[in-house]
Structure 1
Amino acid sequence: MTLRIAYLGPPGTFTFQAAGQIWNQSEDLLPSTTVPEIVDRVRWGDCDFGVVPVENTVEGIVTASLDQLVFGTGDVVVLREISVRTTFDVYRAAGASGAPTGIASHPHGLAQCTRYVNASGLPSRVFPSTAAAVEAAAADPGLLAIAAPELAGRYAVSLVDSGVEDHPGVFTRFACLGSRRRQADVPPAAEELSWKTLLALTPATRPGTLADVCVQFSDQGVNILSLTSRPLPGFAGAYVFVLALADSRTSAGVARAVNGLLYTGVRVKFLGSFLSDHLLRPARPDRPLSAPTGSFGLTDLPEVGSVFPGR
């Protein structure tokens, strides 16, 4: 039976590329316009699976996707994760002449190509996807579009410039969403990947709460890959913490940590346990990590004392 896969369309988007890396062309890839639409199509059975962006190595977490998981009904979870290299080219309507009058892309595309956009001096236009921007440029000779490579073959546009992103080597992670009982229906990975588990935790608001949460996992030898906070709707100053763990939900360490959290009054929501390439691609840095400019180190103790006089 042919599967129905919802993705952020139209064809040619980075999400389309991610879906194509998981499923072959024999499946029906169905374009959607928003992340909530994709989740709803999966939840109500219109589609078997959905593919959405979850994190970019420059722009960070895609909150529209994360919030659908955290604050949704819980019947749609992450079943697989895949990374796609994010590089941007510039297109214009085929045969267009004269000075361009505008530049367009998805908000993340514009944000990741700030230097190019600013240097152009053109007013920017926002579109729901990079491919939609190219589609608009094909119909408007004055419009430049920033989008994924190789779109000139899909639309009546010509390549103007390539590799215009501010930071080369950027990746975007995409999640395959579906019902937990459908995990076995997701195609096996072509390479050895690592397990990852995603949890949303709602603790009581008190001093040391977050530290106590982290200790539960460190005591069980479970590595926390990332921790993200999302405001809890209706409760000013309260947050839900989303943890990505480098382990499977079936591991004894994860189970013991979750039990420990429950005994301390933390509410735990399961968002998925899945194979991910997060430890294999992109490659580990070949140089020491650089902290943001202005960060303190041990050699800056005098300056630290001026900022934190109570130490």
Structure 2
Amino acid sequence: MSDKKDLEQLRQEIDSIDQQIHQLLNQRAECAERVAETKLQAFSAENGEGDISKVIFYRPEREAQVLRNVIARNNGPLEGKTVARIFREIMSACLALEKPMEVAYLGPEGTFTQAAAIKHFGQSVISLPQPSIANVFSQVESGQCNYGVVPVENSTEGMVSHTLDNFMDSPLKICGEVELRIQLHLLANETASSETIKTICAHQQALAQARNWLDNNWSGVDRIAVSSNAEAAKMAKNDPTIAAVAGDIAAEQYGLMTMAKSIEDFANNTTRFLIIGSEQVPTSDSDKTSLIVEVNNKPGALLKLLEPFHSSGVSLTRIDTRPSRTDIWSYVFFIEFEGHQDDETIAHILEGLGDYSRVLKVLGSYPKAIL
């Protein structure tokens, strides 16, 4: 009887705590609504009857600071990132009260890019699938979507060239980044079997990430690269001769059975995605900066490009190349490094690079990935 009473008392304590959490959530939501009203009033006072769609409700640097603070002050028993993910959803729901955000991503529904969008913005965002990376850029450039999410690199297969190429001509800025652990499965509809499957479809990156496993287990089956893993899952949904390499979100979206789980060749397979928007992001105190630079095709050009970072003690996190659009056998460098473009040291480096670069385009400074 004593154990039963103790358990009942603990349940009552949990109910009481839940009630307090509920009250605090509503208080936070009411505060978010007041923030929206204050921003609208300030905008109207400055711009009269101007276009209120230009009011900035989402502040990437502010959300990054909140999440870092959540992790820093957490003392368990829940892990810091677990609590931060809960706060991510709280902020997402509260932001939707201020203004529901529309975010474009590389579709169709069920892609890892959609999963990245949800991880970064939370479940309350309105995510809109696009047929290509170029379409994601155009939706944001035209103002039809507030932000976009595009893949930029995979830990085993390197950079996504289509994303880098779109940055060449786009006025958009990088506003954030998100890293997503990629688990690939072999999916098919419920009537399929190893005897019926004649083709395995996926995005070319996914086929490459599972190349060894497919060679060892399905060596005699044709592989076809399609626009996305979700597109492959969509094809497999109604065709027992097709299997798709895709993730959990695609399996759920299209009602597919899993023939084999976690077929990626490397257990730490991770893809990084960029958040693109029209606004420059202020410093969050833990940032990265990305830029595109083209130098004259002369001996020592790359060394001269990198030396200011070395001498200033700035850590480069990525450097890649793309062919120049103006000269044959010339290249544009895509460089990422720690720090914000408004930092005194970074600003000095950028000023020096501009003196001898043919093209220098800062793509944005943005908070480092947290979750």
Report what 2:251 is aligned to.
152
Report what 1:260 is aligned to.
352
**What secondary structure does 2:360 align onto?**
strand
1:86 aligns with 2:182: yes
Aligned amino acid, residue 192 of structure 2? A
Q: Distance in 2 between matches of 1:100 and 1:197?
A: 46
Report what 1:116 is aligned to.
213
Q: Distance in 1 between matches of 2:286 and 2:161?
A: 24
| Alpha-carbon distance, 1:265 to partner | 4.5
Aligned amino acid, residue 163 of structure 1? S
Q: Distance in 2 between matches of 1:143 and 1:28?
A: 31
Deviations 1:14-69 (CA, angstroms, capped at 9, x unpaired):
10010001122322100001101110111111111100000000110001001111
Give 5+ residue unaligned stretches, structure 2: 1-98
CA contact (8 A) 2:153 2:272 kept: yes
Work out which of the residue numbers 192, 198, 206 in structure 2 matches 1:101: 198
**What secondary structure does 1:125 align onto?**
strand
Q: Distance in 2 between matches of 1:60 and 1:26?
A: 31
Report what 1:47 is aligned to.
145
Q: Distance in 2 between matches of 1:158 and 1:249?
A: 48
Deviations 1:247-291 (CA, angstroms, capped at 9, x unpaired):
1112111111111122335531111111123xx78xxxxxxxxxx
**What secondary structure does 2:235 align onto?**
helix
**What secondary structure does 1:132 align onto?**
helix
Report what 1:64 is aligned to.
162
Q: Distance in 1 between matches of 2:214 and 2:141?
A: 38
Report what 1:125 is aligned to.
224
Report what 2:113 is aligned to.
15
Report what 2:296 is aligned to.
204
**What secondary structure does 1:177 align onto?**
strand
| Alpha-carbon distance, 1:229 to partner | 1.3
Q: Distance in 1 between matches of 2:222 and 2:178?
A: 34
| Alpha-carbon distance, 1:87 to partner | 1.2
CA contact (8 A) 2:198 2:222 kept: yes
Runs of 4+ more than 6 Å apart: none
- Judged with a 3 Å threshold, the aligned counterparts in structure 2 of structure 1 residues 193 and 20 are, in CA distance, closer, same or farther, namely farther
Q: Distance in 1 between matches of 2:285 and 2:262?
A: 28
Instruction: Provide the TM-score with structure 1 as the length reference.
Output: 0.82
Work out which of the residue numbers 142, 148, 157 in structure 1 matches 2:241: 142
Give 5+ residue unaligned stretches, structure 1: 185-191, 282-311
- Which has the higher Rg, Structure 1 or Structure 2? 2
Q: Distance in 1 between matches of 2:116 and 2:357?
A: 38
Aligned amino acid, residue 202 of structure 1? E
Amino-acid identity (%): 29
**What secondary structure does 1:82 align onto?**
strand
Instruction: Provide the TM-score with structure 2 as the length reference.
Output: 0.69
Aligned amino acid, residue 76 of structure 1? L
Deviations 1:77-109 (CA, angstroms, capped at 9, x unpaired):
110001000110111111334432111111111
Q: Distance in 2 between matches of 1:12 and 1:125?
A: 19
- Judged with a 3 Å threshold, the aligned counterparts in structure 2 of structure 1 residues 265 and 149 are, in CA distance, closer, same or farther, namely closer
**Pairwise CA RMSD of aligned residues?**
2.0
CA contact (8 A) 2:118 2:125 kept: no
Report what 1:300 is aligned to.
none
**What secondary structure does 1:222 align onto?**
coil
1:195 aligns with 2:287: yes
CA contact (8 A) 1:193 1:276 kept: no
Deviations 1:92-131 (CA, angstroms, capped at 9, x unpaired):
1113344321111111111111123223120112221111
Aligned amino acid, residue 102 of structure 1? T
1:239 aligns with 2:331: yes
**What secondary structure does 1:215 align onto?**
helix
| Alpha-carbon distance, 1:193 to partner | 8.7
CA contact (8 A) 1:103 1:117 kept: no
How many residue pairs get aligned? The number is: 270
- Judged with a 3 Å threshold, the aligned counterparts in structure 2 of structure 1 residues 167 and 193 are, in CA distance, closer, same or farther, namely farther
